[in-house]
Chains A and B, each alone.
Chain A
Amino acid sequence: MVRKEMVAMLLAGGEGKRLGVLTKALAKPAVHFGGKYRIIDFTLSNCVHSGIDTVGVLTQYQPLVLNQYLGIGSPWGLDRRYGGMAVLPPYMKSKGGSWYKGTANAIYQNMGFIDRYDPEYVLVISGDHIYKMDYDLMLDHHKASGADATIAVIEVDWSEASRFGLMATDETGKITEFQEKPKIPKSNLASMGVYIFSWPVLQQYLIRDEDNLKSSNDFGKDIIPAMLADGIYLNTYTFQDYWKDVGTIQSLWEANMDLLSEESQLVLNDKNWRIYSVNPNQPAHYISPAGNVSSSLITEGCFIEGCVNRSVLFYGVHVGEGSVIRDSVIMPNAQIGKNVTITRAIIGEGAVIADGVYIESAEGEDIQVVASDEMVLPAGTAKEVEA
């Protein structure tokens, strides 16, 4: 068989604890985003547009929705005779088996998958992030530098830097120090969780890491520090476009709102970099004579008789007459009754909001969330949301 130059390993087993009710029954990469997508669509589409046709998707936490969504990879053009997409859950071996203990262990357990394609390079990415990136340019950078590993980084505000894994570099971009969420940051170059490794080097470190019983088997905490300690050449690749880790309710809401800004850096309507997704197959959306929509994203299958402002509506959402939706994200097939007021909230997939309900959170307060398939009846006052 022809060898593949680079194989992508996409980490999609994360629970996304801080997304609360939104990830109760599905993995974080399967969380809805941007009117018709799930988060993982961005990284899968990036792979395809970067010329990568072999992608292993590592799943573990609540995989049912994700597995069904991914199928055989057809929506992303990853249903190939040789290569294509493979969903890789933990599995039994002759000497027993185990769950994926960490991100590095997940790759370790699937070294056999990678070796089937005998690649020179392995791209390790996470299905939790929203960004459009050409991994092929990063690979060029990796090859030109002669590094053993290249880590994509993005400049963040110094005030926020201590939330990230940070890379201190020399003037050529070579990494001199790595700090995981430090109190006092020495750099504002944050790791995006996008790594290109020369496969023989990574393989060696995965095996060594597995032998170290004290290791947490994590790329950021174990593999990268070990490589750095050995003086392995680790380089950075600076990315200057939109990148967001939607790890919390607040950041998920913000990322959706980012799409509505006239100066949004994340352009979805980009014919040269389409974000592919599973087609929900719905008719064009309808706005009634009483309806009114501005500064919003509306998807096929919506039926709008109310007023929608600065909001993102996924497919199949119905908004009844007299209802007002502001600064909110309404997930697929949610049914909003008449005279409902929703402000600064995320309404889960298939939720039903009865006539006359108020769901509001004020500026500065936590974003209100209604869980998937939840039914909200009027209580006369703002609804209390259970965590």
Chain B
Amino acid sequence: MSMDMMGVVNLIHEPDELEALTAHRPLATVPFGGRYRLVDFTLSSMVNSGISKVAVMAHTKYRSLVDHVGSGKSWDLHHRQGGLFVLPPMASDMSDLRKGDLFHLYQQRDFFTRSQGDYVLICRSHMVCNINFKDVLRDHLESGADITAVCKRQGDSLGGKARKVKIDASGRVTEMQDHFGRLQTDLVSMEMYVMRKDLLLDLVETSLAQGQDHLVRHGIMSRLDRLRVHAYLYDGYLGIINTIQSYYLNSMQLLLPDTWKSLFFTPGPIYTKVKDEPPTSYHEGAKTVNSLIANGCEIEGTVVGSILFRGVKVQKGAIVRNSIVMQNGVVGENSMLDHVILDKEAYIEPGRDIRGVTDSPYIAVKRKVI
């Protein structure tokens, strides 16, 4: 059965404090979990929920996004009916890029009016979770709400920043504030909203006519009295990845077997771009404990409490502790890393000793040689 809902991954002005990790890529393609990019979790959840048409609204620095998603084949999103559409910003000049997401939705309105399906799911890419959107749509239809917002009770967001939500006994959202608001609540918005397509287009036009251009802040938060916004409570693993601290701490959460088993497998698998790396080779004398290792690595040294992405080399005598080494990184002989994040293709020369701390891991930018 085809689904009556299309997906939108909204990358316009996505809140991002990932510093060096997003210097040359959007938040959506920040590597996460050994072989994924952040956007994989949203895309996979959509596809596993039966959504077959997905638009990714690109904003800036989106070369790596286009490279990563390609034709959508890895997510089974390249087919005659629907599929994946990367919508680049339709900006006439640089100042248009600064305008809010409603402006960009307006520019792309033809895409929405031309699409079949009555409902739209609009998401961000930095909410890492594995969720069944069929349940969200069912809940939306049952509650009869104008908008359904996916929320989670989360006492500690591990440094991630999310909007705060307050609901009444019926589940209606009565208050929503930005992450710096004073609202006392443990309920956070996962920035996933289900609504009718015509309501979305209506919000776009009326808000813009009033000089407002942010979907959530203006379109939804300022209209909580007029629109019935209902909260759907998700209770699986959620990583809010928009600060370095939350990136690091949530990565380390993946070393807990329960998180590994739930985030990557239930309710459905997470898909990503295929790389055809061989299995990881552990050499004689290699020692690895409590770590997450992708394919294509060559391990001769010691790896403890760390995450290695595809194609990483840990040479003899090297020790990698509490660290994250992204694709094709090389840790030279007898080097020592502790609380370090190495972006792609970083090269640590033999004998180096690099340390950060939990609250502030040391970050080496892409292709850095140390």
Interface positions of A (Cβ within 8 A of B): 34-36, 74-75, 262, 268-269, 274-277, 279, 281-300, 303, 312-313
Contacts and interface: CB of A to CB of B under 8 A. Distances in A.
9 contacts: A36-B278, A36-B279, A284-B308, A285-B280, A290-B289, A291-B289, A292-B288, A297-B282, A300-B294
A327 B52 CA distance: 45
A261 B285 CA distance: 13
A303 B257 contact: yes
B293 A284 contact: yes
A183 to B, nearest CB: 40
Nearest to B328: A271
Nearest to B295: A300
A327 to B, nearest CB: 14
Contacts of B274: 75, 279
A268 B290 CA distance: 26
Kindly state the interface size class of chain B when it binds its partner: 35 or more
Nearest to B270: A283
A287 B289 contact: yes
A269 B260 contact: no
B288 A277 contact: no
A288 B290 contact: yes
Interface in B266-293: 269-272, 274, 276-293
A291 B292 CA distance: 12
A34 B276 contact: no
B160 interface: no
Q: What is the interface of chain B mostly: helix, strand, loop, or mixed? A: loop
A289 B256 CA distance: 10
A298 B257 contact: no
Contact of B282 (A34, A284, A298): A298
Nearest to B284: A295
B219 interface: no
Nearest to B269: A281
Contact of B33 (A34, A284, A296): A284
B283 A286 contact: no
Given A269-B296, A269-B298, A300-B295, A283 B281 contact: no
Contacts of B271: 281
A9 B286 CA distance: 43
A277 B270 CA distance: 18
B34 interface: yes
Contact of A283 (B264, B276, B290): B264
B90 interface: no
Contacts of B272: 281
Nearest to A299: B279
A262 B278 contact: no
A27 to B, nearest CB: 23
Nearest to A276: B276
Given A281-B269, A283-B264, A262 B292 contact: no
Interface in B18-56: 33-35
B66 interface: no
Q: What is the interface of chain A mostly: helix, strand, loop, or mixed? A: loop
A368 to B, nearest CB: 22
A283 B12 CA distance: 29
A299 B283 contact: no
Contact of A298 (B33, B270, B280): B280
A317 to B, nearest CB: 11
B269 A286 contact: no
A286 B276 contact: no
Contacts of A289: 289-290
A91 to B, nearest CB: 29
A81 to B, nearest CB: 15
Nearest to A278: B274
Interface in B247-273: 255, 257, 260, 264-265, 269-272
B161 to A, nearest CB: 26
Contacts of A34: 278-279
Contacts of B336: none
Nearest to B310: A284
Contacts of B283: 262, 294-295
B278 A268 contact: yes
A283 B260 contact: yes
B282 A296 contact: yes
Pick from B282, B283, B287, B308 the residue with the most CB of A within 10 Å.
B282
A286 B258 CA distance: 12
Given A287-B293, A292-B287, A297 B281 contact: yes
Given A269-B298, A293-B286, A284 B279 contact: no
A269 B294 CA distance: 13
B84 interface: no
Nearest to B272: A281
A279 B271 CA distance: 10
Nearest to B281: A297
A300 B35 contact: yes
Contact of B278 (A74, A75, A269): A269
Contact of A284 (B257, B281, B307): B307
Pick from A75, A279, A286, A297 the residue with the most CB of B within 10 Å.
A286
A274 B294 CA distance: 17
Given A285-B293, A287-B290, A294 B257 contact: no
Pick from B291, B294, B298 the residue with the most CB of A within 10 Å.
B291
Contacts of A293: 282, 286, 288
A20 to B, nearest CB: 25
Nearest to A285: B293
Given A283-B34, A284-B33, A289-B289, A298 B294 contact: no
